[in-house]
Amino acid sequence: MSNIRRKIIKRVKKQAMPYIKSALKTGANKVSEQLLIVADDLDQPIDEIMEKVGNALKSGLIAAGQEIARNQANTR
């Protein structure tokens, strides 16, 4: 790989890292909030618990994506 490509990749990585970290934190916080709600009632059938865990992961991914979009909108 040429020296110019390395510099470009390094620069993009450096600029993107704060956005990625922020999005991961937001997504992880959302997942943990949802999982705490699921853990409150463990007397539910396992199918319901697994569905709620899946939904918690989905909402965390959505929150992370929204955070990235929000950060991109704020930089323009």
Question: What pLDDT tens digit does each residue of the chain (76 aa) get?
Answer: 688 888 899 898 888 888 889 999 999 999 999 999 888 887 889 999 899 999 999 999 999 999 888 887 877 6
- Report whether 38 contacts 49 (CB < 8 A): yes
Count of CB atoms situated within 10 Å of the CB of 71: 16
Its pTM stands at: 0.72
Residue type, position 6, single letter: R
Task: Give the pLDDT of residue 1.
Answer: 62
Q: Which two tokens stand for residue 76?
A: 């323009």
